[in-house]
């Protein structure tokens, strides 16, 4: 567990950093610190759940395959708070990161249904 309060972001080893840049920017823009780590696990549900248990803020993000999963330490592994398709659009990725941070801050989330898909 990190010494300082952070959102833990666990990313599968096969995901390039460029694919998660907008997600991480969304967290950063909300001024909530994030701690990134890479793992061999392919299941984004497990990555997110483990990250939430590691986070002092109780919020974790898992990225694997084509999914971003956001959850809290209180939710079961198979019932995450939010699941987003990775790289659907830059705006969607950024909003997912923003929503992870807003979950920590207890602020209203961005409605991802309002965002247009990538063309």
Tens-place pLDDT, residues 53-91: 999 999 999 999 999 999 999 999 999 999 999 999 999
| 92-110 confidence digits (pLDDT tens) | 999 999 999 999 999 999 9
Q: Give just the sign of the alpha carbon dihedral 34, 102, 100, 85.
A: negative
Give the model's confidence band at 118: pLDDT under 50 very low, under 70 low, under 90 confident, else very high. Answer: low
Chain length of the chain: 119
Going across the sheet that includes 82-85, the strands are: 34-39, 7-12, 59-64, 67-72, 82-85
The per-residue b/e assignment along 24-35, b for 16 or more CB within 10 angstroms, e otherwise, is: bebbeebebebb
User: Does the global pTM surpass 0.75?
Assistant: yes
Domains and CATH numbers, the chain: 7-111 (3.40.50.10150)
């Amino acid at each position: 567990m990190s010494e300082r309060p952070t959102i833990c972001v666990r990313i599968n080893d096969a995901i390039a950093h460029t694919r998660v840049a907008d997600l991480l920017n969304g967290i950063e823009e909300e001024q909530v610190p994030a701690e990134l780590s890479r793992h061999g696990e392919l299941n984004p549900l497990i990555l997110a759940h483990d990250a939430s248990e590691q986070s002092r803020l109780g919020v974790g993000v898992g990225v694997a395959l084509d999914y971003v999963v956001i959850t809290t330490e209180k939710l079961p592994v198979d019932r995450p708070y939010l699941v987003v398709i990775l790289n659907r659009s830059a705006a969607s990725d950024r909003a997912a990161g923003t929503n992870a941070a807003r979950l920590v801050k207890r602020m209203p989330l961005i409605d991802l249904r309002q965002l247009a898909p990538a063309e």
